[in-house]
Amino acid sequence: MRVTLKLDPSSLKGVQSQLAKLSGQQAKQAYAEGLNDGGFQARREWQREMRDQFDRPTPYILKSVYVRKATPDRLGVKIEPTYFGGKGVDPQKILQAQEFGGARRDKRSEVALRRIGILPSGFQTAIPENPLPGSHDGRGNIRGPFLVQLLSYFHAMGEQGYRANMTAKRKAQIHKGTKTREGVRYFVSYGHLRGGATQHLAPGIWASTGRDGFIVRPVLMFVPDGDYTPRISRQRVAEAADLDNYIERRIRYRIRKAVGT
């Protein structure tokens, strides 16, 4: 998931006379600025490619495409997804799977649910078509705070996070609700996988709400392990951006601008 652009001196034949008027450092500065123009053009095309190929990509993944700018002493610019820390997944891993395809890795929440025996082997989780109100971000993802509450409810936080696991008192409060929020109980159904009282429901985590708990909604579905189909292409991005020609034009522009200045 890395694109590296470097200067081709043969592209400067049309501006040799202007180039002769610049000092060596001025010329290198013009080269670097032209390369950086190309880098940001490639960045725009990467973002357009993701908007075209993904369903409602998050700002996090769009902004992850980072331009490591050229300098007069390093005439090369790199455009690559970059992880800036925090709690998000490394964009390199996300986009590499989307470019080359292959099996989807388990999310940390899936590892936690499988560790305590809730998520069956060979299954991962997916947000339902009609998500539980308040559980999603509107982009097809479970909200972080809601997911933490869900893991805490089922005591899936692990040894280091055991203090964050929900107490019986806190569960009772969630079951009861408040004046502004109805009570809710979460439960697991294995549907046809194991039978039982909830075998009529699809495998997953469900919520029961309402006065008598008769309103049942899906929260997080258990689905067979997924595979990614290749969806984005560096080659397609480069062709759409027409980078070679674009960079040549921008370097010539930057040289003329430097001479004029």
Residues 115 and 206 in one domain: yes
User: How remote is the C-alpha of 38 from its chain's centroid?
Assistant: 24
- Please state the domain count of the chain: 2
Both 98 and 206 in one domain: the answer is no
> Are residues 94 and 80 part of one domain?
yes
- Res. 206: pLDDT tops 60: yes
pLDDT at 139 over 90: no
Pick the more confident residue, 82 or 221. Answer: 221
Average pLDDT over residues 84-96: 66
- pLDDT of 162: 52
pLDDT at 158: 73
By 3-state DSSP, what share of the chain in percent is helix, strand and coil, each rounded to 5?
A: 45, 20, 35
Per-residue pLDDT band at 59 (split at 50, 70, 90): confident
Taking only the tens place, the pLDDT of each residue in 173-192 is 999 888 888 889 999 999 98
Q: What is the pTM of this model?
A: 0.60
H or E element that contains 223: strand 215-224
If we measure between CA atoms, which residue out of 127, 158, 146, 228 comes closest to residue 184?
A: 146
Domain that holds residue 164: 105-224
Residue 91 has φ and ψ, to the nearest 5°, of -60, -30
* 215 and 110 share one domain: yes
Domain shared by 215 and 151, yes or no? yes
- pLDDT band at 214; cut points 50, 70, 90: confident
The string of DSSP letters for 237-251 reads HHHHHTHHHHHHHHH
Structure-model confidence comparison of residues 102 and 233, the more confident one: 233
For residue 188, how many other CB atoms are within 10 A of its CB?
Answer: 19
